[in-house]
């Protein structure tokens, strides 16, 4: 008995390894399963969908011809609804609670927002003869067209799936 216990330095690690071997669970942590994986898949598919729609000739349309214009692609936004639903479902299936499916769903919009938000200070510093009004209008247009509207579409799909999963009898406790 003494020799057997000498070989174990951390009982919690041994327990985790035994549980992992019994259940066949991979070494992916909770955040990766519930946010990163569904979010990155959704982001990749959303960019692929945008490329495909452009390739088949369904280009974004101008809906606001002010300075600067706002581009809008209805087929892409409808696809984002489906991708938001898929991300939320994948996150919930991976064990996500309430916040993780929503974060995974809006991941593509957040990923598109990072370069926009990071670019504003750079533009303000390096601009030379561009009026400030034009810079801020362009920033607002980019934020609205690439982050806010797509984020709403992604959330709409996620909300529909999450509402359906809440009403499903298989998801309720016995």
Encoded tokens for 19: 């549980």
For CA atoms 35, 30, 86, 157, the dihedral sign is negative
Q: Is 14 a domain residue?
A: no
Q: Is 13 a domain residue?
A: no
pLDDT at 172 over 50: no
pLDDT at 4 over 90: no
Q: Is 160 a domain residue?
A: yes
Nearest to 161 by CA among 80, 77, 79, 89: 89
Q: Is 156 a domain residue?
A: yes
DSSP letter assigned to residue 168: -
Beta strands in 65-162 (DSSP E): 70-72
Total structural domains in the chain?
Answer: 1
pLDDT at 16 over 90: no
User: What pLDDT, on a 0 to 100 scale, did the predictor assign at position 54?
Assistant: 92
- For 147, the domain range is 32-171
User: What pLDDT, on a 0 to 100 scale, did the predictor assign at position 18?
Assistant: 81
Of the two residues 172 and 72, the one the predictor is more confident about is 72
**pTM of the predicted structure, to 2 decimals:** 0.77
d(CA 157, CA 148): 14
DSSP letter assigned to residue 165: H
Encoded tokens for 126: 């390096």
Please report, in angstroms and rounded to a whole number, the separation of the first and last CA atoms in the chain.
Answer: 42
d(CA 104, CA 86): 9
DSSP per residue, 11-26:
HHHHHHHHHHHHHT--
């Amino acid at each position: 008995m003494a020799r057997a216990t000498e070989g174990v330095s951390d009982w919690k690690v041994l327990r985790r390894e035994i549980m992992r071997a019994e259940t066949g669970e991979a070494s992916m942590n909770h955040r990766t399963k519930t946010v990163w994986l569904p979010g990155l898949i959704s982001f990749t598919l959303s960019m692929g969908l945008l490329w495909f729609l452009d390739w088949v000739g369904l280009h974004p349309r101008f809906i606001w011809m002010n300075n600067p214009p706002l581009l809008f692609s209805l087929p892409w936004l409808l696809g984002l609804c489906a991708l938001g639903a898929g991300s939320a479902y994948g996150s919930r299936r991976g064990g996500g609670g309430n916040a993780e499916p929503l974060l995974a769903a809006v991941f593509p919009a957040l990923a598109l927002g990072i370069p926009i938000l990071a670019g504003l200070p750079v533009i303000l510093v390096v601009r030379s003869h561009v009026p400030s009004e034009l810079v801020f209008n362009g920033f607002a247009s980019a934020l609205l067209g690439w982050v806010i509207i797509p984020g709403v579409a992604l959330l709409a799909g996620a909300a529909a799936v999450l509402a359906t999963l809440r009403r499903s009898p298989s998801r309720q406790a016995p």
